[in-house]
Amino acid sequence: MKKIGIIGAMELEVEELKGKMTIQRTQEKASMEFLEGTLNGTEVVIVRSGIGKVNAALCTQILCDCFQVSHIINTGVAGSLKNEIDIGDIVVSTDALHHDVDVRVFGYPLGEVPQMGCLAFPADGHLTALAVSVCCEVNPDIKVYEGRVVSGDQFVSDKQVKDNIIKNFQGFCVEMEGASIAHAAYLNHVPFVIIRAISDKADDSAEMDYPTFEKAAAAHSASLVEHMLPKI
Ligand code: SAH
């Protein structure tokens, strides 16, 4: 039975979806409110995880253990790591990694968590392809890119930091939760995809742009998730 776990780090990333769903049950776990019900004819569990990698990982584990979700979608906003990816555009993950992990001293590549056996956690190919095709169909004015999402417990708003992340990881966008959701989903063998609309360029303009564009960007991403659901 298909049951989709939908995670947003912040309320504004999930409020629209929560408003549209039919809620059957609400449960609180780890200070997070999990809403179970249906959205667009599909069984869903929608939750605001809180910001950062620990909150997001905890939330993902709870979705797997307590709600037995069959798929996980992360919706939200992110900073762009490519000149051509502009504010309002959407990035759909091919894979995700932690840009703030560094155990090079023991021979691991930058970003790799020791003894995991992989640097980046691959997203589900079907979910990624579906997100891209549904985006082209329902949001023809929004450009959609498929690529790597990189995450760390850091808001990137400095050109130097951004350039280093680009050089080291070839990411398409940077945010603070995707890799830990990917990591937890990978360990639980649950297919996932991360969908992020761009709120800023992760450089010195980010502090100004982010508050201006976060709401509209969050809505772009949420609308894509809503339209994907019946096709999963
Ligand atoms: N405005 C919030 C904090 C937002 S932190 C407050 O005051 O409490 C930024 C959030 O947006 C995170 O959830 C992260 O995933 C995403 N994000 C958007 N742009 C980002 C960037 N440039 N660097 C890191 N995370 C970014």
Q: Measure 2 CA to ligand 1 centroid, in angstroms.
A: 30
- Dihedral of the alpha carbons of 49, 52, 54, 56, in degrees to the nearest 10: 30
16 is catalytic: no
Provide the terminal-to-terminal Cα distance of the chain, rounded to the nearest Å.
12
For residue 106, the CA-to-ligand 1 centroid distance in Å is 31
What pLDDT sits at residue 11? Answer: 98
1 — pLDDT class (breaks 50, 70, 90):
confident
Predicted local distance difference test score (pLDDT) of residue 212: 96
CB of 175 within 6 A of ligand 1: the answer is yes
**Residue closest by Cα to atom 18 of ligand 1:** 78
Residue 103: count of CB within 10 angstroms of its CB: 14
- The torsion angle over the Cα atoms of residues 163, 165, 170 and 173, rounded to 10 degrees, is -90
* 95 has catalytic annotation: no
Atom of ligand 1 nearest to the CA of 152: 24
Residue 63: its pLDDT value, please?
A: 99
Other Cβ atoms closer than 10 A to 84: 9
Task: Give the confidence band of 161 by pLDDT, cuts at 50, 70, 90.
Answer: very high
Q: What percent of the chain has pLDDT over 70?
A: 100
What digits encode the pLDDT tens for the residues 98-153? 999 999 999 999 999 999 999 999 999 999 999 999 999 998 999 999 999 999 99
Annotated catalytic residue, options 16, 112, 200, 203: 200
User: So what's the pLDDT on residue 132?
Assistant: 98
Atom of ligand 1 nearest to the CA of 210: 19
pLDDT at 79 over 90: yes
Question: Can you tell me the distance from the alpha carbon of 109 to that of 168, in angstroms, rounded to the nearest whole number?
Answer: 10
Q: Is the pLDDT of residue 160 over 90?
A: yes
pTM greater than 0.95 (yes/no): yes
Residues with Cβ within 8 Å of 157's Cβ and at least 6 positions away in sequence, in order, are 79, 200, 202, 203, 204, 206, 207, 210
> Using one digit for the tens of pLDDT, what is the confidence trace for 15-62?
999 999 999 999 999 999 999 999 999 999 999 999 999 999 999 999
Measured in Å, residue 163 CA sits from the centre of ligand 1 at 18
Under 8 Å between Cβ of 23 and 38: no
- Cβ–ligand 1 distance for 51 under 6 Å, the answer yes
pLDDT at position 124 = 98
Rounded CA separation 111/13 (Å): 27
pLDDT of 158 strictly over 90: yes
Q: Which atom of ligand 1 approaches the CA of 52 most closely?
A: 13
Range 157-166 contact pairs with CB under 8 angstroms and sequence separation of 24 or more: 157/79, 157/200, 157/202, 157/203, 157/204, 157/206, 157/207, 157/210, 158/203, 158/204, 159/203, 159/204, 162/79, 162/81, 162/201, 162/202, 162/203, 165/81, 165/99, 165/202, 166/81, 166/82
Phi and psi, residue 183, nearest 5°: -60, -50
